[in-house]
């Protein structure tokens, strides 16, 4: 079968890599892809901001399955358009993708369906922000309502800082139109958890859990990013907690969306805070996370194509996934200046040496390839990933591989999975 993957990041490279392992797959296309993906799939140009362009590509390729990687095509309605034409496509509809496209929608949905989340206020003006802040204790979390590539969140140490961040968002200076409305949230303490499930609109099956590292600097310092690394182990959540998360968060979300006329098919990413009072929902993503997908798929031992088809055709079951008990980790190597202003076009060396380290796979996130050489092409450049029986070994292998890769301005966190290794 022919498969089309839409997207160009590290998540899409991991999806291409895993889909190619299926005995059922004869050809993989990726649009637009990147330099590293081009070594494993046919990369085709497409504008992911254009629904017409994506439909035209589908019309020309007629893939047996399309897998949507990033959030933007989902919120534009690519799944609706492909489904209407009878083309099998994995992901939620435009209506269902509101869970990610609008944080205010998600918060009000959680409130309606009594799913645990932080206290919040939705504000369309600075007057509303100032009024709402009177009801919060510092620190306060300020979020842009719309899609902001993981950068529309500020953890403000004071109410003054929160007001300043909200003003920047509302003015359009920080994240453009995504900040036209802001959500204020109480700050929650605990460990973050990325809990992904596969849904067919009714049934729900969990994937293995992962833990992301959002801040740019070691020790969770500096501004938020799209993610600087992630890891997955068999013991992040025990069986009892996993079942609780399925029954009290994932299933109620899927049932609630169906009741509201927006059946949810695809992967539902629940970003959770494991607080002293129990798990609370921080956010939803309506697709595979990035960089969580890299360590999660490194642990997957069953056929990904079968699982994705089960979601589309309404037959999700507990047998869809088989997982390794190994641990896995992904360390993101970023361009100098990321998540702020950065330059591209820096030559990358050492990729072959890094890929030769036992258990390592280097996923390309923002790269291009010219005359046999790779160059930086984005903020997050590479996801250096490793798998091993023990987390400590996987982490050691990933960092050994990172040490072999060079490009001007390269930086990466040195403490991915560090707290888990110490435990």
Integer CA distances (angstroms), 4 to 60, 63, 68, 239, 297, in order: 11, 6, 8, 34, 18
Could you tell me if residue 97 is inside a domain? Answer: no
Integer CA distances (angstroms), 259 to 95, 202, 256, 348, in order: 13, 11, 5, 50
Which pLDDT score, from 0 to 100, does residue 342 have?
A: 96
Could you tell me if residue 283 is inside a domain? Answer: yes
221 — phi, psi (to 5°)? -115, 165
Which pLDDT score, from 0 to 100, does residue 57 have?
A: 98
**Cis check: omega of the bond before 139, within 30 degrees of 0:** yes
Residues with Cβ < 8 Å from 310, sequence gap 6 or more? 198, 200, 316, 317, 320
Same-domain status, 195 and 315 = yes
Which pLDDT score, from 0 to 100, does residue 374 have?
A: 98
- Can you list the alpha helix ranges (DSSP code H) found in 209-347? 239-245, 251-259, 293-298, 304-313
Same-domain status, 169 and 232 = no
Question: Read out DSSP for 8-20?
Answer: -SHHHHHHHHHHT
- Between vectors from CA 267 to CA 262 and to CA 272, what angle results, nearest 5°? 95
Could you tell me if residue 102 is inside a domain? Answer: no
Could you tell me if residue 108 is inside a domain? Answer: no
Same-domain status, 176 and 205 = no
399, with CB counted inside 10 A (0-12, 13-18, 19+), is middle
CA–chain centroid gap for 288, Å, is 5
Same-domain status, 71 and 130 = no
Cα(169)–Cα(153) distance, integer angstroms = 10
CATH of the domain at 256: 3.30.470.20
**One pLDDT digit (tens) per residue for the chain, 423 residues:** 999 999 999 999 999 999 999 999 999 999 999 999 999 999 999 999 999 999 999 999 999 999 999 999 999 999 999 999 999 999 999 999 999 999 999 999 999 999 999 999 999 999 999 999 999 999 999 999 998 876 789 999 999 999 999 999 999 888 888 889 999 999 999 999 999 999 999 999 999 999 999 999 999 999 889 899 999 999 999 999 999 999 999 999 999 999 999 999 999 999 999 999 999 999 999 999 999 999 999 999 999 999 999 999 999 998 889 999 999 999 999 999 999 999 999 999 999 999 999 999 999 999 999 999 999 999 999 999 999 999 999 999 999 999 999 999 999 999 999 999 987
Provide the domain limits for residue 153: 119-186
Same-domain status, 182 and 271 = no
Beta bridge partners of 58: none
Between strands 2-7 and 65-68, the pairing is parallel
Q: Of 320, 340, 357, which marks where a domain is finished?
A: 320
Which pLDDT score, from 0 to 100, does residue 408 have?
A: 98
Cα(365)–Cα(334) distance, integer angstroms = 9
259, with CB counted inside 10 A (0-12, 13-18, 19+), is exposed
CB of 97 closer than 8 Å to CB of 72: no
Same-domain status, 348 and 301 = no
Same-domain status, 167 and 137 = yes
Could you tell me if residue 100 is inside a domain? Answer: no
Dump strand ranges (E) for 137-275: 140-144, 153-156, 182-186, 191-200, 204-206, 211-212, 215-217, 221-224, 229-232, 265-275
333 — phi, psi (to 5°)? -95, 125
Same-domain status, 210 and 154 = no
CB of 288 closer than 8 Å to CB of 269: yes
What 8-state DSSP symbol labels residue 177? G
Record the pTM: 0.95
Could you tell me if residue 106 is inside a domain? Answer: no
CATH of the domain at 156: 3.30.1490.20
Which pLDDT score, from 0 to 100, does residue 131 have?
A: 96
Could you tell me if residue 104 is inside a domain? Answer: no
84, with CB counted inside 10 A (0-12, 13-18, 19+), is exposed
Cα(105)–Cα(253) distance, integer angstroms = 13
The structural domain count of the chain equals 4
Residues with Cβ < 8 Å from 95, sequence gap 6 or more? 261, 262
Same-domain status, 224 and 333 = no
Which pLDDT score, from 0 to 100, does residue 403 have?
A: 98
CATH of the domain at 340: 3.90.600.10
Which pLDDT score, from 0 to 100, does residue 177 have?
A: 87
Q: For residue 234, what are its two tokens?
A: 């068999």
Could you tell me if residue 263 is inside a domain? Answer: yes
Residues with Cβ < 8 Å from 131, sequence gap 6 or more? none
Same-domain status, 49 and 140 = no
Q: Of 129, 163, 186, which marks where a domain is finished?
A: 186
CATH of the domain at 36: 3.40.50.20
Q: Name the strand (E) or helix (H) holding 84.
A: helix 78-84
CB of 265 closer than 8 Å to CB of 91: yes
Q: Of 186, 211, 226, which marks where a domain is finished?
A: 186
Same-domain status, 208 and 316 = yes
Same-domain status, 157 and 205 = no
């Amino acid at each position: 079968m022919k498969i089309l993957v839409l997207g160009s990041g590290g998540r899409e490279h991991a999806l291409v890599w895993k889909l190619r392992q299926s005995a059922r797959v004869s050809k993989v296309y990726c649009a637009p892809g990147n330099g590293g993906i081009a070594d494993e799939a046919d990369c085709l140009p497409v504008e992911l901001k254009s629904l017409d362009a994506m439909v035209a590509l589908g019309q020309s390729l007629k893939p047996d399955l399309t897998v949507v990687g990033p959030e933007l095509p989902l919120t534009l309605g690519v799944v609706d358009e492909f489904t209407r034409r009878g083309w099998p496509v994995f992901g939620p509809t435009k209506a269902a993708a509101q869970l990610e496209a609008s944080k205010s929608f998600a918060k009000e949905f959680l409130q309606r369906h009594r799913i645990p989340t932080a206290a919040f206020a939705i504000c369309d003006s600075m007057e509303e922000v100032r009024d709402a802040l009177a009801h919060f204790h510092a620190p306060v979390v300020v979020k842009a309502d719309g899609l902001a590539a993981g950068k529309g969140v500020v953890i403000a140490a004071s109410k003054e800082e929160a007001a300043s961040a909200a003003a920047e968002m509302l003015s359009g200076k920080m994240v453009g139109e995504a900040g036209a409305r802001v959500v204020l949230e109480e700050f929650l303490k605990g460990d973050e958890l990325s809990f992904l499930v596969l849904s067919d609109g009714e049934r729900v099956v969990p994937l293995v859990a992962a833990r992301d590292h959002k801040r740019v600097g070691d020790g969770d310092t500096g501004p938020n990013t799209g993610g600087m690394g992630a890891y997955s182990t068999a013991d992040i959540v025990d069986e009892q907690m996993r079942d609780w998360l399925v029954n009290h968060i994932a299933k109620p979300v899927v049932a609630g969306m169906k009741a509201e006329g927006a059946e949810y098919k695809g992967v539902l990413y629940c970003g959770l805070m494991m607080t002293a009072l129990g798990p609370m929902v921080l956010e939803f993503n309506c697709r595979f996370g990035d960089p969580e997908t890299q360590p999660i798929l490194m642990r997957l031992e069953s056929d990904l194509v079968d699982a994705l088809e089960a979601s589309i055709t309404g037959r999700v079951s507990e047998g869809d996934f088989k997982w390794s008990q190994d641990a896995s980790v992904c360390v993101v190597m970023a361009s100098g200046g990321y998540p702020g202003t950065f330059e591209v076009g820096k030559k990358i060396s050492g990729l072959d040496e890094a890929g030769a380290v036992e258990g390592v796979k280097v996923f390309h996130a923002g790269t291009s390839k010219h005359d046999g050489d790779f160059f930086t092409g984005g903020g997050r450049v590479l996801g250096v990933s490793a798998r091993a029986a023990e987390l400590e070994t996987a982490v050691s292998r990933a960092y050994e591989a990172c040490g072999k890769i060079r490009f001007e301005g390269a930086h990466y966190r040195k403490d991915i999975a560090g707290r888990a290794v110490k435990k």
